[in-house]
Amino acid sequence: MTASLAIQDHIAIITINNPPVNGLGHATRTAISEHLRAAENNSDAIAIVLTGTGKVFSGGADIKEFGTDKTYAEPSLPSLLVQMDACNKPIIAALNGVCMGGGLELALACHYRVATSAIQIALPEVKLGLLPGAGGTQRLPRLVDMETCLDMICSGRSYYSDQLVETKLFDAFVSIGAQLLQTTIDFANKVATVRPIPRVRDLIANQTITPETFATARENLQKKSKHLPAPFACVDALEASVKLDFDLGIQTERQLFQQLLQSPESRALRHIFMAERAAGKIADIDASTPLRAVNSVAILGAGTMGTGIAMNFANAGFPVRLLDLQEDSLTRGLARVREQYQAAVKKGKLTQNECEERCNLIVGVQSYSDIAQVDLVIEAVFEDLAVKKSVFEQLDQTMKAGAILASNTSTLDLNEIAMVTKRPQDVIGLHFFSPANIMELLEVVRTKHTATDVLATCFSLAKKIKKTAIIAGVCDGFIGNRMLEQYTKQAAFLLEEGCTPQQVDHAIEAFGFAMGPFRMNDLAGNDISWAIRKRRIAANSNAIYSKLGDRLCEMGRFGQKTQAGWYDYQANDRTAYSSDIVNQMIRSHARELGVPQRQISDEEIVQRLVLALANEGRKILRDGIAARASDIDLVYLKGYGFPAHRGGPMYFAESLGWEKVDQLLQQFQQGHQGQTWIL
Ligand code: NAD
């Protein structure tokens, strides 16, 4: 049974027991409903306590039932709450732990709530493009002030029970969790005979609002989440709680919920939710795969990436040795670490003590013998195969047996690097993204030789340092950068066919990307992609690419750092201004090539760019570089600013249908002299 019933001191105790999060799946709802009925009919029970096992009251919907008929099968959650409203004995929630989503809605339909301190309280449905659809938007404002309701429901943010202790949400509060059940039983005995039984639905929704409350909330959302319908629907539902009676408010909430459920944004966000759950699954690894102990870390190279990676581990409490052979690079690197932590103190994100603790965890060293005993070493030295090979030879000679040897290379052949050591099974790629202490993505690159325990250990470690780890195979650029090359190529081809940089950037930014490809390249430095292009052309002289980026660099326009790139810039100003010189250069280059010029719609720009990503993603899957399409979507979401409400490039292509995608790709290449650069 996923919920049990017991009688103690004349109180019926219903305990939800559906690990891991006491999800309210169909079986659990049925069990609660039947136990409620039994408790009502049991003359020995004068009141009912509803609680959960372990550290969770209820985490809400059961994700195993997501999208199946069972989600809405009777008793549905709304019907169960109606049954609770009508119960002839008081129901008291004993909130023993996490109380989220449907779990909080269940608690709100109880007649009283007793909570323990430090438990998480949330209505996170908006994160899936939905709103709380079982009365949450109507009951919460009857107990909690509207400002908090708006924040909690529109952002989906978690609160701790202690933050809500001043509200009417809790009728009693216990600071030590162990006393909760007995306190609730005593409370139940006290209120058992109180009639009428107080129901949240009978209260008047919070009136502490001004005429501007909802307008201001909508204005704020316009700035933060203008692409998303769900937060706006949350405001509508909350407004209904003060303007309509309870039943009409519930009806409004239901209608809004149904609309959101069908919205493309919610479908995409639910796809991402499932993608995140699938991401850690690797065919030949399971819970029985042994893990290596990792308690200390060394980073090689105190440059941009090395210092960011070091901060990552220090943030999670790991002692880090940062090794750089150049004394001045090491000094600069350590100073950069301190500067960044100090900036976090200034912003109030860290205390001065925490700043000192983290700085002290990162110790600069200059000799390999100083790192020999650490459990994991990650090299982030120059991107040069000869340099990396010599570093790995050194590591092989110095590091203790069983240490994991990782590389942060973006492009180099890790199979080859592993083979310079006598322990290729211990070598793995850990590809962080810049800035490494902030970006959530980590591509974990498995070579032909990587041992399963090394792989499993790195996935487990990724969680500790709060990264989303995605498994990738060895190829130039792994998943993300290999796809990015096709995206960048398309962006330049669009210029050759008639677009301006601002038109391309504008179209993809309106689609939801944080930054278009040209503004992005100006920020990263056009000279960096120029150097990579030169290397690739040297390796494959048949490669098809637009020479516009080369022309730009030949003009010395490297981007923001030279105050001139695809756009013009002014000193100390990151605003991108349209550049006449660049636009003329693009047009004359296109004339020289003889590419027919035409007006290109924003829709085509978006499809060209996103399908260039998806097309390469499909090849990556065929080559066995990525484990699943949803992993590729996560790479783009977490590492490249792809808008979450669009679900990712593979999801975008799958929603169009691959047949249609192929038709479009054929059609697009007609415009560019029929060159076969896309399929
Ligand atoms: P960087 O030039 O900023 O830093 C490299 C550092 O390595 C320098 O401080 C240098 O003194 C040090 N170094 C060189 N040889 C060394 C050796 N033998 N032993 C110890 N230290 C040595 O470079 P970066 O941008 O931090 O890139 C480092 C690695 O990370 C490269 O492989 C790069 O491809 C990869 N990477 C970079 C980015 C990025 O956006 N910069 C993103 C992902 C991965």
- For 462-517, write each residue's pLDDT tens digit: 999 999 999 999 999 999 999 999 999 999 999 999 999 999 999 999 999 989 99
Q: Determine the atom of ligand 1 nearest the C-alpha atom of 330.
A: 9
Q: Tell me, what's the pLDDT at 83?
A: 97
Q: Is 233 in the pocket of ligand 1 (CB under 6 A)?
A: no
Cβ-count burial of 90 within 10 angstroms (0-12 exposed, 13-18 middle, 19+ buried)?
A: buried
Predicted confidence band at 51 (pLDDT cuts at 50, 70, 90)? very high
What average pLDDT does range 593-619 have in this prediction? 95
Residue 535 predicted with pLDDT over 90: no
Q: How far is the CA of 381 from the centre of ligand 1 (A)?
A: 4
Q: Is 380 in the pocket of ligand 1 (CB under 6 A)?
A: yes
212 is catalytic: no
Residue 539 predicted with pLDDT over 90: no
416 is catalytic: no
Catalytic option among 105, 239, 253, 443: 105
Residue 600 predicted with pLDDT over 80: yes
> Percent helix, strand and coil across the chain, each rounded to 5?
50, 15, 35
pTM reported for the whole predicted model:
0.91
Ligand 1 pocket test target in 321, 410, 445, 482 with most atoms within 8 Å of CB: 410
Number of neighbours of residue 327 by Cβ within 10 angstroms: 10
Nearest to 494 by CA among 641, 598, 649: 598
Ligand 1 pocket test target in 381, 394, 399, 638 with most atoms within 8 Å of CB: 381
For residue 520 the two structure tokens come to 């992005």
Q: Is 304 in the pocket of ligand 1 (CB under 6 A)?
A: yes
Predicted confidence band at 35 (pLDDT cuts at 50, 70, 90)? very high
Phi and psi at residue 422, to the nearest 5°: -95, 10
At 620, which amino acid appears?
A: I
- Any idea what DSSP says for residue 160? E
Nearest to 58 by CA among 26, 16, 94: 16
What average pLDDT does range 55-79 have in this prediction? 89
Question: CA-based angle 175:180:183, to the nearest 5?
Answer: 105
At 337, which amino acid appears?
A: V
Q: Is 434 in the pocket of ligand 1 (CB under 6 A)?
A: yes
652 neighbors 664 (Cβ within 8 angstroms): no
Q: Give the separation between CA 198 and CA 647, rounded to whole angstroms.
A: 44
Instruction: Give tens-digit pLDDT for 635-646.
Output: 999 999 999 999
Q: How far is the CA of 406 from the centre of ligand 1 (A)?
A: 13
Number of neighbours of residue 267 by Cβ within 10 angstroms: 17
Q: Tell me, what's the pLDDT at 538?
A: 84
Q: How far is the CA of 376 from the centre of ligand 1 (A)?
A: 17
Instruction: Give tens-digit pLDDT for 231-263.
Output: 999 999 999 999 999 999 999 999 999 999 999
- Any idea what DSSP says for residue 164? G
Predicted confidence band at 158 (pLDDT cuts at 50, 70, 90)? very high
Q: Tell me, what's the pLDDT at 68?
A: 83
Minimal-distance CA residue to ligand 1 atom 31: 383
Residue 453 predicted with pLDDT over 70: yes
127 neighbors 106 (Cβ within 8 angstroms): no
Q: Tell me, what's the pLDDT at 69?
A: 85
Q: Is 301 in the pocket of ligand 1 (CB under 6 A)?
A: yes
Percentage of the chain beyond pLDDT 70 is 99
- What mean pLDDT, rounded, does the chain reach? 95
Q: Is 90 in the pocket of ligand 1 (CB under 6 A)?
A: no
Residue 62 predicted with pLDDT over 90: no
Q: How far is the CA of 90 from the centre of ligand 1 (A)?
A: 65
Phi and psi at residue 565, to the nearest 5°: -150, -130
Catalytic option among 34, 65, 125, 509: 125
* Residue predicted with more confidence, 419 or 596: 419
Q: Is residue 330 helix, strand or coil?
A: helix
Question: CA-based angle 229:231:235, to the nearest 5?
Answer: 110
Q: Tell me, what's the pLDDT at 674?
A: 63
Q: Give the separation between CA 546 and CA 550, rounded to whole angstroms.
A: 8
The distance between the two most distant Cα atoms of the chain, rounded to a whole number of Å, is 92
What average pLDDT does range 205-231 have in this prediction? 90
What average pLDDT does range 351-377 have in this prediction? 97
104 neighbors 144 (Cβ within 8 angstroms): no
